[in-house]
């Protein structure tokens, strides 16, 4: 592994040296062009000479900047491709230390041959004002005869035209094109405009590409983390429950389930969350924003996940099937919850009375019986409820909404459970039987009330006279006639009387 890292480091220095050398060569070429232009113009008059000098100086600076930008991008791209090749193919290049002793090694005369990464860094600056390279004679650069100590092989990178000469103009000619596997194509626009941001992103920012799906990343570590999706590798395991994760951050988020830590707090309602994503989703509740709309029925949702879940109701798609009873579900979590019916497992227990539940939400609703908490209040009549769904059903009394209709007789109901119970009057079905007698009922609530006749249970208590009742309606009737003084609440429009003030509020007077 150390050899691979060393190779990558050395390749990085080589490519950087290539950039330095190319910039310096461009400086020399622009200097030559400027001098030739100035000589011809100076023979005419001093004024044109001054204007030409300023123009050529500006053009030289612009060319230097553009060329420096292009070569830097090309260098970054070449480096990314080389490192990617080494890392992904797992081939440790067999580059052994070689010497030039006893041999006459011919040094190429091209200015872009990289013979010493360190030497080039010293010879050329990187701020666009690089010094021109020394022009060496042929006999100075033909051969190297002295012995050299062993050193790693240094790659030579040369840009030549078809005649073997350095061709820097080919780099800046033509429009922006993609790179090939063998070399790097031109990236500078023909009109001399600035390099597009897309080209910078392509060449210098995301050089690490997944071989399985083609997705690109800006670093090798991000690519390695992504590839666990394809391999299924989960190297991070929870020490408490053994659950494994592909990413370290996912493990950290999971461990908060055991610790109970909820570091992300809503600034509006102070509710805490274990994940930042959950807090972000929650905050949409306060804004009231529902940006995701169903294209079938127009119903809107505050998060995309809820919209996707809702759309399954239109398609009828239920891809999650129970292996025991073959019942299908639209969500995996719903299937998982359903399977608890077959196992009989009830993992959520009340600490006050020990009653167990299959769902955490049912436990939370049950606990409000012990605490007396009824957080959901009707804004029309003031009645309170332990669950939001009960408040929603209750409000249909005020609105008169009855969305559930019987297909047999057309009768409508405000609750689905009422429709199910009613439909049994047509079918004659009575699935709920009493354990004490042979009586059967079409709904569980009627059975529950009936069984109190056998058990003697009277859970409803009058605080004024200490009397008990088996049904809530019996207690209300008792209070109205015995302690309430009759029907003392009168409608001022029609004169109708009520014993309960809530019934008066619910009263829809014809004359109102």
**Angle at alpha carbon of residue 235, lines to 234 and 239, rounded to 5°:** 105
Percentage of the chain with pLDDT > 70? Answer: 62
* pLDDT at residue 58, rounded to an integer: 81
Please report the pLDDT score of residue 38 as a whole number. 46
pLDDT number for residue 12: 65
What is the distance between the alpha carbons of residues 476 and 467, in angstroms, rounded to a whole number? 12
Evaluate if residue 345 carries a pLDDT over 60: yes
Give the number of domains in the chain. Answer: 1
pLDDT at 409 (0 to 100): 93
**Residue 388 CB neighbour total at 10 angstroms:** 11
Q: What is the pLDDT confidence band of residue 11, given thresholds at 50, 70 and 90?
A: low
What pLDDT is stored for residue 60 in this prediction? 74
Predicted local distance difference test score (pLDDT) of residue 28 = 59
- Who wins on pLDDT, 354 or 23? 354
pLDDT for the residue 358: 84
- Please tell me the chain's helix, strand, coil percentages from 3-state DSSP, rounded to the nearest 5: 45, 10, 45
For range 176-199, the mean pLDDT: 40
Cα→Cα distances 482→478, 486, 505, Å? 6, 8, 22
8-state DSSP, 209: E
Please name the helix (run of DSSP H) or strand (run of DSSP E) that holds residue 410, with its range, or none. none
Q: For residue 460, give the nearest of 450, 470, 448, 446 by alpha carbon.
A: 470
Residue 433 binned pLDDT confidence (cut-offs 50, 70, 90): very high
Q: Can you give the pLDDT at residue 125?
A: 37
Pairwise pLDDT comparison (159 vs 267), residue with the higher score: 267
For 33-42, 390-399, 476-485, which range has the lowest pLDDT when averaged over its residues?
33-42
pLDDT of residue 155: 36
Note whether 143 and 95 are within 8 A (CB). Answer: no
Q: Which residues contact 142 (CB under 8 A, 6 or more apart)?
A: 106, 107
pLDDT of residue 157: 39
The DSSP line for 449-481 is HHHHHHH----EE-TTT--EESSHHHHHHHIII
- The residue-averaged pLDDT of 124-131 equals 38
Q: What is the pLDDT of residue 17?
A: 64
199 vs 295: which has the higher pLDDT: 295
Mean pLDDT of 459-464: 89
Residue 38's domain comprises 1-155+157-166
Residue 300 lies in a domain: no
Give bridge partners of residue 413 from the DSSP assignment.
404
Calculate mean pLDDT across residues 309-332: 85
Q: Is 451 a member of any domain?
A: no
Phi-psi region of 244 (alpha: psi -120 to 50; beta: other; left: phi over 0): beta
Higher pLDDT, 335 or 40: 335
- Does 423 score more than 80 pLDDT? yes
Residue 51 confidence class, pLDDT cut points 50, 70, 90: confident
**What pLDDT, on a 0 to 100 scale, did the predictor assign at position 153?**
35
Tell how strand 440-441 and strand 356-357 pair up. Answer: unpaired
pTM exceeds cut of 0.75? no
Asked whether residue 30 is domain-assigned, the answer is yes
Residue 249 reports pLDDT greater than 60 = yes
Give the per-residue pLDDT at 56. 80
Chain centroid offset of residue 14 CA: 38
Where are the alpha helices (H) located in 332-488, listed in sequence order? 332-343, 360-371, 388-399, 416-427, 444-455, 472-478
Q: What is the pLDDT of residues 442-451, one digit of tens each?
A: 888 899 999 9
The pLDDT value given to residue 437: 93
Could you tell me which residue, 505 or 465, shows the higher pLDDT?
465
Q: Which of 10-14, 336-340, 380-384 has the lowest mean pLDDT?
A: 10-14
Asked if residue 381 lies in contact with residue 498, where contact means CB atoms within 8 angstroms, the answer is: no
Beta strands in 127-215 (DSSP E): 143-144, 208-209
pLDDT of 135 above 60 = no
End-to-end CA distance of the chain: 87
Percent of the chain with pLDDT over 90: 8
Nearest to 73 by CA among 65, 85, 63: 65
- Burial letters 103-121, b for 16+ CB under 10 A, else e: eeeeeeebbbbbeebeebe
Confidence of residue 78 (pLDDT cuts 50, 70, 90): low
Q: Quick one: pLDDT at residue 106?
A: 40
Task: Give a yes or no: residue 123 inside a domain.
Answer: yes
Instruction: Specify the pLDDT at position 455.
Output: 93
Is the pLDDT score of 68 beyond 80?
Answer: no
How far, CA to CA in Å, does 106 sit from each of 100, 120, 299?
10, 19, 77
Average pLDDT over residues 146-161: 39
Return d(Cα 425, Cα 207) in angstroms, integer.
70
Q: Which has the higher per-residue pLDDT, 346 or 482?
A: 346
Average pLDDT, the chain: 71
Q: And the tokens for 502?
A: 């809530």
Q: Is 496 helix (H, G, I), strand (E, B) or coil?
A: coil
**Who has greater pLDDT, 480 or 354?**
354
Q: Is residue 78 part of a domain?
A: yes
Phi, psi angle pair for 237, to nearest 5°: -110, 145
Look-up of token digits 């020990």: 354
Residue 139 lies in a domain: yes
Residue 271 confidence class, pLDDT cut points 50, 70, 90: confident
- Is the residue at 147 inside a domain? yes
Both tokens assigned to 453 = 């006749």
Q: How far apart, in whole angstroms, are the C-alpha atoms of residue 277 and residue 397?
A: 38
In 3D, which of 74, 384, 105 has the Cα closest to residue 207? 74
- Examine the pLDDT at 45 and tell me if it is beyond 80: no
128 falls within a domain: yes
């Amino acid at each position: 592994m150390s050899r691979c890292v060393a190779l990558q480091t050395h390749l990085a220095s080589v490519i950087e040296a290539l950039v330095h050398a190319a910039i310096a060569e461009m400086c020399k070429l622009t200097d030559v062009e400027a001098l030739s232009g100035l000589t011809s113009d100076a023979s005419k008059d001093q004024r044109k000479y001054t204007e030409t000098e300023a123009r050529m100086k500006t053009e030289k600076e612009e060319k230097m900047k553009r060329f420096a930008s292009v070569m830097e991008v090309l260098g970054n791209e070449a480096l990314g491709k080389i490192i990617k090749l080494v890392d992904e193919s797992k081939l440790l290049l067999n580059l052994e230390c070689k010497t030039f002793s006893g041999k006459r090694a011919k040094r190429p005369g091209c200015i872009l041959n990289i013979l010493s990464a360190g030497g080039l860094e010293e010879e050329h600056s990187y701020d666009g004002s690089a010094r021109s390279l020394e022009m060496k004679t042929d006999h100075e650069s033909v051969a190297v005869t002295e012995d050299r100590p062993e050193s790693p092989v240094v790659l030579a990178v040369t840009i030549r035209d078809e005649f073997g000469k350095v061709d820097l103009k080919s780099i800046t000619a033509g429009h922006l094109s993609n790179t090939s596997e063998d070399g790097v194509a031109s990236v500078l626009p023909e009109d001399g405009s600035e390099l597009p941001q897309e080209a910078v992103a392509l060449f210098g920012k995301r050089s690490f590409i997944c071989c399985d799906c083609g997705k690109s990343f800006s670093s090798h570590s991000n690519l390695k983390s992504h590839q666990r999706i394809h391999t299924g590798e989960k190297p991070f395991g929870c020490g408490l429950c053994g659950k494994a994760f592909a990413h370290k951050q996912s493990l950290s988020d999971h461990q908060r389930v055991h610790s109970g830590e909820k570091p992300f707090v809503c600034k509006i309602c102070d509710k805490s969350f274990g994940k930042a994503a959950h807090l972000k989703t929650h905050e949409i509740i306060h804004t009231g924003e529902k940006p995701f709309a169903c294209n079938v029925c127009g119903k809107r949702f505050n998060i995309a996940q809820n919209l996707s879940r809702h759309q399954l109701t239109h398609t009828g798609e239920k891809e999650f099937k129970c292996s025991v009873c073959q019942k299908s579900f639209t969500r995996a979590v719903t299937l998982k919850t359903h399977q608890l019916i077959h196992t009989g497992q009830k993992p959520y227990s009340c600490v006050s009375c020990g009653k167990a539940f299959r769902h955490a939400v049912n436990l939370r609703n049950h606990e409000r019986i012990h605490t007396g908490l009824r957080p959901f209040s009707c804004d029309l009549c003031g009645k309170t409820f332990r669950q939001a769904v009960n408040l929603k059903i209750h409000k249909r009394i005020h609105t008169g909404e009855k969305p559930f209709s019987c297909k047999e007789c057309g009768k409508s109901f405000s609750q689905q459970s009422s429709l199910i119970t009613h439909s049994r009057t047509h079918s004659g079905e009575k699935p709920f039987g009493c354990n004490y007698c042979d009586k059967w009922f079409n709904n569980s609530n009627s059975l529950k009330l009936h069984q109190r006749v056998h058990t003697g249970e009277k859970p409803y208590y009058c605080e004024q006279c200490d009397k008990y009742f088996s049904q809530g309606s019996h207690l209300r009737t008792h209070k109205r006639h015995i302690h309430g003084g009759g029907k003392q609440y009168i409608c001022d429009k029609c004169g109708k009387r009520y014993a309960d003030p809530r019934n008066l509020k619910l009263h829809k007077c014809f004359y109102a």
